[in-house]
Chain A
Amino acid sequence: MTPPSDQELIDFVIREARLIDQHRFDEWLDLFDDDGIYWMPLEWGQTDARLTASLMHEDKLLLTIRVERLKGNRTFSQKPKSRCHHVLQTPQIDKRDEAANEYVTWTPMHYIETRYDDQQLYAAWATHTLKAVDGRLKIKLKRVDLVNSEAAFGNIQLFM
């Protein structure tokens, strides 16, 4: 199999954000490898997710629960639904390890989440660790570091 080009890695990260913005959450979930993790650390430069608190550290089961919940008729915190919007810088390729089938991109971004009259702006860096599986890229780890990760936030209901 041909290793993914830099442009394919970039396109993948950009499409991933688009699927979230368009509420195509089932397609988005499908981007994760079976053992994929979505991680939002609590601390600046955090290295440990097990014995240090995180805002989110979720495997595919927990992400599926979130996605199914968003569809629920009795999910009152989503009546009306939140909407979101990503503005990404061009993803930078931090690592290409073809032998290990591991590719890491780094993407500074602004993320907006809105519901009713409320609109919140978040600034973050997304780090994607990707691998190729059967000719398709999959997410091993999506790490989102908020610039102000320790701040007291209100509800963050969708995905950055």
Chain B
Amino acid sequence: MSKYRGNLEAVRNLVRPTEVHRDVYIDEEVFQLEMEHLFANAWVYVGHDSQVPNPGDYYGTTIGLQPILMVRHTDNTVKVLYNRCPHKGTRITTETCGNAGKYFRCPYHAWSFKTDGSLLAIPLRKGYENTGLEDSHAAKGMSPVRHVHSYRGFIFAKLNDVGPGFEEFFGESLSSFDNMVDRSPGGRLEVAGGVLRYMHNCNWKMLVENQTDTCHPMVAHESSAGTAIEVWKNAPPGTKKPMAVEIYAPFMSSYEFFENMGIRVWPNGHGHTGVHHSIHSDYSAIPGYYEKMVAAYGEARAQAILGENRHNTCYFPNLMIKGPIQLIRLFKPLAANKTLVESWTFRLVDAPDMLLERTLMYNRLINAPTSVVGHDDLEMYERAQEGLHVDANQWVNVQRLYRADEKPDVTAETNGTTEWQMRNQFSAWAKYMALSMGGHVA
């Protein structure tokens, strides 16, 4: 007997203004519904166009649990296709990324497809004469994802027809992408360095919420960032503070620091920490970078770009970006209690290499499966995934700095320790679940 399938009311009741029911984290049926509805109705990040620079280049990934690939078509546009052969279902791509040449060729029976997915050829085609193949699913080729949008090189896709268009879905939140790209003197980013993959035995939303949880760093990361500060105190006087210490130390900033840095929420579940400053504000200048920015943009514009130091921008449902250090994290749901975290890094085109060096160091120190900061966080997620099975209290609290007049789907700036962005995400969660679940939409 299904508790949630076909029962929009039950799904809606999981989210209250200041608390959410534990089933959004631990129930497999809710997870399946998220995959069928939430991840199909929202615009989900696929990849960056620098991963497929030339026609025929492809990259295989997932939206929710759906295997997809993005590919540079012969007309130079980026297409997103479901990654299965229309014949027997075989995954088409043999490697995660590569070049298909002019067409995809299934490794099982050599059916071939143009890079927009359309059927090109079938060996021994006469065997299908007078069989009505032209009316089959197979004859349509590889199914394309119809809603694809590239924003300054970042490729998003939406699987279902329902739901808002790209611009409406993201609105002003795209300003965080703008700032990341504008930090390149060449106005362009390139995926660089390699992706760190980190398996988490917890629900994907715990990771998303943690991105704007500013009351945990000084507590959970005392062990790592706090120890870094203590060990650094033993350095001989006058030693230059290393990049690694500059990266670790701000995690131990005070509550006041995080309160004052501010949080901004946007409609549709997007939001960011670090309206006024952030843990990325006080890194040492990289020699030669500012001069290149001034040459590219002029002094006033360069200062405005570099003066914006947003911390974490969450793009609903499962992407976080860090503009000031050109790093994004994608929280890929695998099961109610399993999430693959991919942390990708970017090169600012025409900027000094040392920026990429710092980005990679940050990724290694904070986001790797070998990272002590990562260990601190994962321990808390896994404890929560376990603790949520307690029946005595079945609700997770997201009440901090709640106001009774708080409206959903607004743009607002507020105290940096609010849990408004978490409430904002759950408001969007209920909305995008409901879009295709049928039943009465309030």
8 new A-B contacts at CB < 8 Å, known A51-B356, A72-B222: A42-B196, A50-B357, A61-B235, A62-B365, A66-B372, A68-B230, A72-B223, A77-B376
Partner of A153, one of B199, B227, B379: B199
Knowing A51-B353, A77-B223, A77-B379 are in contact, say whether A154-B201 is a contact too (CB < 8 A).
yes
A40 at the interface (CB under 8 A from B): yes
Residues of A within 8 A of B223 (CB): 69, 72, 74-77
Given A72-B223, A75-B223, A51 contacting B192 (CB threshold 8 A): yes
A52-60, A85-93, A101-109: which lies at the interface = A52-60
For B81, what are the chain A residues with a Cβ–Cβ distance below 8 Å?
Answer: none
- B344's nearest neighbour on chain A, judged by CB, is A53
Which residues of A pack against B, CB within 8 Å?
A: 40, 42-43, 50-57, 61-62, 64-66, 68-69, 72, 74-77, 150-157
A51 and B378: CB pair below 8 A? no
Given A68-B227, A76-B380, also A154-B194 (CB < 8 A): no
Chain A nearest CB from B288 CB (Å) reads 16
**A76-B223, A156-B370 given; A56·B364 CB < 8 A:** yes
* Given A53-B345, A65-B228, A65-B231, A150 and B372 contact (CB-CB distance below 8 Å): no
B224-A54 in contact (CB<8A): no
Q: Which residue of A lies closest to B345 (CB)?
A: A53
Interface residues of B in 345-384 (CB under 8 A from A): 345, 353, 356-357, 360, 363-365, 368-370, 372, 374-376, 378-380
- Known contacts A61-B231, A69-B227; is-contact A154 B364 (Cβ 8 Å): no
Which are the 6 A-B pairs with shortest beta-carbon distances?
A: A77-B379, A152-B197, A53-B194, A75-B223, A153-B369, A77-B375
Residues of B within 8 A of A (CB): 192-201, 220, 222-224, 226-228, 230-232, 235, 242, 244-245, 248, 340, 345, 353, 356-357, 360, 363-365, 368-370, 372, 374-376, 378-380
Taking a contact as CB atoms under 8 Å apart, the answer to whether B193 and A51 are in contact is yes
A66 to B368, CA, bound (A): 14
Residues in B with CB closer than 8 Å to A42 are: 194, 196
CA distance A5 to B371 in the complex (A): 36
Chain A residues within 8 Å of B226, by CB: 72, 74
Taken together as a complex, chains A and B put the C-alpha atoms of A154 and B235 apart, in Å, by 32
- Which of B198, B199, B363, B376 is A76 in contact with, Cβ under 8 Å? B376
Give B114 Cβ to nearest chain A Cβ, in Å: 30
Name the distance in Å between A28's Cβ and chain B's nearest Cβ.
16
A76–B364 touching, CB < 8 Å: no
Q: Which residue of A lies closest to B363 (CB)?
A: A53
Complex: chain A residue closest to B224, CB-CB: A69
Q: List 27 A-B contacts (CB under 8 A).
A: A40-B370, A51-B193, A51-B353, A51-B360, A53-B194, A53-B360, A53-B364, A55-B196, A55-B368, A55-B370, A56-B370, A61-B244, A69-B223, A69-B224, A69-B227, A69-B372, A72-B226, A74-B222, A76-B379, A77-B375, A77-B376, A77-B378, A152-B369, A153-B370, A154-B369, A155-B374, A156-B370
Contacts of B200 in A (CB 8 A): 154
Q: Is the pair B231, A43 in contact by a Cβ cutoff of 8 Å?
A: no
| Cα A72 to Cα B375 with chains together (Å) | 14
> Residue A152 contacts which of B220, B227, B340 (CB distance < 8 angstroms)?
B340
Among residues of A, the one whose C-beta sits closest to the C-beta of B356 is: A51
One of B201, B222, B245, B369 near A55 (C-beta < 8 A): B369
Q: Which B residues are in CB contact (< 8 Å) with A74?
A: 222-223, 226
Residues on A with C-beta less than 8 A from B224 are 65, 69
CB distance from B307 to the nearest CB of A (A): 27
Asked if A154 and B228 sit within 8 Å, CB to CB, the answer is no
CA distance A157 to B378 in the complex (A): 12
In whole angstroms, how far apart are the Cα atoms of A77 and B374 in the complex? 10
Q: How far is the CA of A6 from the CA of B312 in the complex (A)?
A: 52
Residue from B220, B242, B360, B369 within 8 A of A52 (CB atoms): B360
In whole angstroms, how far apart are the Cα atoms of A142 and B227 in the complex?
A: 23
* Contact, CB under 8 Å: A155 / B369: yes
Complexed CA–CA distance, A62 and B226 (Å) = 13
CB neighbours (8 Å) of B248 from chain A are 65
Chain B residues, CB < 8 A from A40: 370
Q: In whole angstroms, what is the CA distance A112 to B376 when docked?
A: 21
Contacts of A77 in B (CB 8 A): 223, 375-376, 378-379
CB nearest to B200 among chain A residues? A154
- Is A53's CB under 8 angstroms from B376's CB? no
Contacts of B242 in A (CB 8 A): 61
Interchain CB contact under 8 A, B193 and A150? no
Q: How far is the CA of A54 from the CA of B380 in the complex (A)?
A: 25
B197 A56 Cβ-Cβ under 8 A: no
Which residues of chain A have C-beta atoms less than 8 A from B378's C-beta?
77, 154-155
CB of B113 to closest CB in A, whole Å: 28
Of A40, A53, A56, A152, chain B has the most CB atoms within 10 Å of the CB of: A53
CB distance from B219 to the nearest CB of A (A): 8
Do the beta carbons of B370 and A65 come within 8 Å of each other? Answer: no
Residues of A within 8 A of B232 (CB): 61
> For A76, what are the chain B residues with a Cβ–Cβ distance below 8 Å?
220, 223, 376, 379-380
In the complex, A74 Cα to B199 Cα: how many Å? Answer: 23
Cβ contacts under 8 Å, A65 to chain B: 224, 227-228, 231, 248, 372
- Evaluate contact between A53 and B195: CB separation under 8 angstroms: yes
CB contacts (< 8 Å) of A61 on chain B: these are 231-232, 235, 242, 244-245
Closest chain B residue to A154, Cβ basis: B199
